[in-house]
């Protein structure tokens, strides 16, 4: 798509928004119901696309993509009327008589740029929030998941007129053409490097942006952890989608005293969940492209591999891999892995380990396995991260009741549920001042009586 065509889309969307078509409750509700209905009707089409792009099984596609998206749509449909209401807040005595309230207002025309690793959920979840908030939307799915992008384009084209929702496909040229336009808000999910470019372009127009990025998310396993259960949940979270999950445990940092027991339990769980030869498991996914496959294979140090380490280049599959005796200086610790490689580091002093985590960029997620409540509190108090779990992995993002987002280099802003609605809204602070009386305190001439009254009101 050319830049001129993109400008024409934006012109039509701005006109549609300015005419007020997106504002009524009925219009927003109808859009959400259309999308939910289309997702249910096209579930099989989306599953086929996800299998083609990422090798996902139908079960995993529903559990991690379509099902979670339907859950967000259902939540938003149930709560939309409440979210759209003005919210009364206390009024200071100095402003008597008045009612103070917060009034949500849509930004206007927004851009949603989504990644390839969860192309359905990470496109449609923010779209649901944006439509609920009353915006028009341009959606830009990743070119690295072409089958999913085509399916999304077809589904959204069936649901919505282009003046409400338009899908722009393509690669870098289309991304640049979009980022050169003036949107009212940008929502981006992807890498830190691209996130910086998005923010630079947004700054040119002073456009607000929500960035959902990534980072090296640690998984701390403390000596009181239930080792077998921890291994089961770590293996699930790490190797889901072949490790191509922004909140996957990037590495394990465990007490040296339990390292061997934990590694043995992880190896057993890999076999239990993926079979003796995971590369032959039809429900185990694949790496998105050859370049990413080669990058990941280059991070594996054969001398430190205790499980896996093999790959099938033609099928773009890498066996679930565990490396031990890893140090902070190893190549695998120099970047976000984003693949099925799990380095295991150890500590002898938990406070020193937490200091090492804090000395690095704040991660998108942090996981702690521990039965010690004091240790749990210490980690939560000491470490800065987007979100996480105690005694589990990745499930914190699977709810509309809590916001999902990063902090520092792992992102800014959040979404899901109420937070998602508010991410795509400007919350106006309003005072409805009554006219049946008018307090004279603020008006000149000032005097001692007014001074006394002012001090009473403002303390």
- Give the separation between CA 458 and CA 93, rounded to whole angstroms: 8
3-state per-residue secondary structure call for 49-107: HHHHHHCCCHHHHHHHHHHHHHHHHHHHHHHHHHHHCCEEECCCHHHCCEEEEEEEEEC
CA–CA distance, 46 with 148 (Å, rounded to integer): 7
Q: Per-residue DSSP letters for 312-381?
A: ETTTTEE--EEE-S--TTSGGGSS---SSEEEEEEES-HHHHHHHHHTSPPPSEEEEE-S-HHHHHHHHH
Name the residues annotated as catalytic: 212, 246
Phi, psi of 22 (to 5 degrees): -90, -5
On whether the CB atoms of residues 65 and 116 are closer than 8 A, the answer is no
CA dihedral angle for residue 239, residue 243, residue 246, residue 250, rounded to 10 degrees: 80
**How far from chain centre, in Å, is Cα 366?**
14
Largest CA distance in the chain: 87
Least Cα distance to 83 among 313, 447, 417 occurs for 417
14 Cβ partners below 8 Å, 6+ apart? 108, 109, 136
Q: Which residue has the tokens 């902090």?
A: 407
Residues in the chain: 459
Q: 3-class DSSP state for residue 144? A: coil
């Amino acid at each position: 798509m050319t830049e001129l065509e993109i400008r024409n889309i934006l012109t039509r969307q701005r006109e549609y928004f300015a005419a007020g078509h997106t504002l009524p409750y009925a219009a927003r509700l109808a859009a959400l119901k259309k999308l939910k209905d289309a997702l249910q009707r096209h579930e099989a089409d989306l599953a086929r696309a996800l299998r083609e792009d990422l090798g996902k099984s139908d079960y995993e596609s529903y559990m991690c993509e379509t099902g979670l998206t339907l859950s967000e749509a259902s939540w938003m449909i149930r709560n939309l009327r409440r979210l759209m209401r003005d919210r009364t807040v206390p009024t200071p005595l100095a402003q008597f008589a008045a009612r103070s309230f917060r009034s949500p207002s849509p930004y206007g025309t927004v851009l949603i740029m989504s990644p390839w690793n969860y192309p359905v959920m990470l496109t449609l979840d923010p779209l649901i929030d944006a439509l609920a908030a009353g915006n028009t939307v341009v959606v830009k799915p990743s070119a690295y998941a072409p089958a999913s992008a085509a399916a999304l384009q077809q589904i959204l084209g069936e649901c919505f007129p282009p003046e409400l929702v338009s899908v722009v496909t393509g690669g870098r040229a289309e991304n640049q053409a979009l980022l050169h336009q003036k949107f009212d808000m940008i929502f981006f999910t992807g890498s830190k490097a691209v996130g910086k470019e998005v923010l630079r372009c947004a700054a040119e127009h002073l456009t607000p942006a929500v960035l959902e990025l990534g980072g090296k998310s640690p998984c701390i396993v403390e000596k009181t952890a239930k080792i077998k259960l921890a291994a089961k949940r770590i293996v699930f979270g790490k190797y889901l989608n072949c490790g191509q999950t922004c909140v996957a445990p990037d590495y394990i940092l465990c007490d040296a005293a339990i390292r061997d027991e934990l590694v043995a339990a992880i190896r057993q769980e890999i076999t239990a969940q993926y079979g003796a030869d995971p590369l032959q498991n039809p429900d185990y996914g694949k790496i998105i492209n050859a370049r990413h496959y080669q990058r990941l294979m280059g991070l594996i140090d054969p001398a430190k591999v205790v499980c896996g380490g093999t790959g099938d280049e033609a099928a773009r599959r890498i066996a679930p891999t565990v490396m031990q005796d890893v140090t902070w200086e190893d190549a695998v610790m120099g970047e976000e892995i984003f693949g099925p490689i799990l380095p295991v580091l150890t500590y002898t002093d938990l406070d020193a380990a937490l200091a090492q985590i804090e000395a690095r960029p704040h991660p998108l997620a942090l996981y702690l396995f521990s039965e010690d409540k004091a240790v749990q509190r210490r980690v939560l108090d000491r470490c800065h991260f987007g979100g996480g779990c105690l005694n589990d992995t990745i499930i914190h993002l699977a709810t509309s009741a809590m916001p999902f987002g990063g902090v520092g280099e792992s992102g800014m802003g959040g979404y899901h549920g109420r937070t998602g609605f508010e991410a795509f809204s400007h919350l106006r602070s309003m005072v409805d001042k009554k006219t049946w009386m008018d307090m004279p305190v603020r008006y000149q001439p000032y005097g001692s009586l007014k001074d006394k009254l002012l001090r009473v009101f403002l303390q």
